[in-house]
Amino acid sequence: MYGIGSTITATKWPRFFHEGTCHILPRPYKPCKPYGDGWILMKKKWFINLAKVMERYVMIYLESIDETSHKHVISELKKVKSIVPKSLRLSDTFFTQLSITTSNGENDMEIHIDEGDIINAVFHFGSVKSGGSTLYFENDPKHKTTTPIYDVPFQHGRIQIGFFNRIYHCAQSFDGIRFALNFNVKKKVLDHFQTHGSKFYDQFVNNNYEGDLLLAR
């Protein structure tokens, strides 16, 4: 897997000290710091267009479904664009991360959920002779079983949008070449800026995206 954008996964640094405890700071992936390969990529016109198209499709999807939970997600996505710095988002969209995945296709992906994601928009492309479907499952934690409920065949250029933090899913083994671009929004990144604002992150940026323990001003 290759990551573009930002992350808030466990790391030794950068961290910040708050109320007697060290916490992990959201930060760009190393290649996405200014003038890195990822930073340059996100400035490319084709990438900007792709990110904005994916963002638009997500909003069309959410606005077409009249459910309270989806209205809450729309509100969260607006907050992301309002309070999360541009340097932690993809080409000024609400996406905070793009995960690029592929494999040799020999084995099914492990059944999983994408914990911590607010919304996912996955763009598939490649050339597959057989297999490569995205499989969705109903999970029964009591009996520790998962039952297949939906099968989306691989199709070059297909986009799947949904709450991958709620529904169990995996990719089927395949013969050919299959790439997945998973545009997503990390809940912990939003939570950080709702709780702390930008005071810690600004110190990190002003220190040229370097530093170990960051203290509040």
What is the band of 93 on the pLDDT scale with cuts at 50, 70, 90? very high
Closest by Cα among 82, 99, 110, 95 to 173: 110
Q: Which helix (H) or strand (E) holds 81?
A: helix 68-83
**Distance of alpha carbon 48 from the chain centroid:** 16
| pLDDT value of residue 177 | 95
DSSP classification of residue 32: G
**Domain range spanning residue 175?**
2-215
- At 21, which CATH number? 3.60.130
- What's the rounded mean pLDDT across residues 153-177? 96
* Alpha-carbon dihedral angle through residues 199, 33, 194, 181, given to the nearest 10 degrees: 180
Q: Is 217 a residue whose pLDDT tops 70?
A: no
What's the order of all strands across the beta sheet hosting 2-7? Answer: 27-28, 2-7, 97-101, 174-186, 117-131, 159-162
| CB burial readout 33-50, b (16+ within 10 A) else e | beeeebbebbeeeebbeb
- Residues forming beta bridges with residue 18, ordered by sequence position: 21
pLDDT tens digits, one per residue of 104-154: 888 888 999 999 999 999 999 999 999 999 999 998 776 778 899 999 999
Average pLDDT, the chain: 93
Per-position b or e across 135-166, b if 16+ CB within 10 A of its CB: bbbeeeeeeeebeeeeebebeeeebbbeebee
How many other CB atoms are found less than 10 A from the CB of residue 23?
15
pLDDT at 140: 78
For the chain, what is the largest distance between any 2 Cα atoms, rounded to a whole number of angstroms? 58
**Domain tally for the chain?**
1
**Binning pLDDT at 50, 70 and 90, where does residue 69 land?**
confident
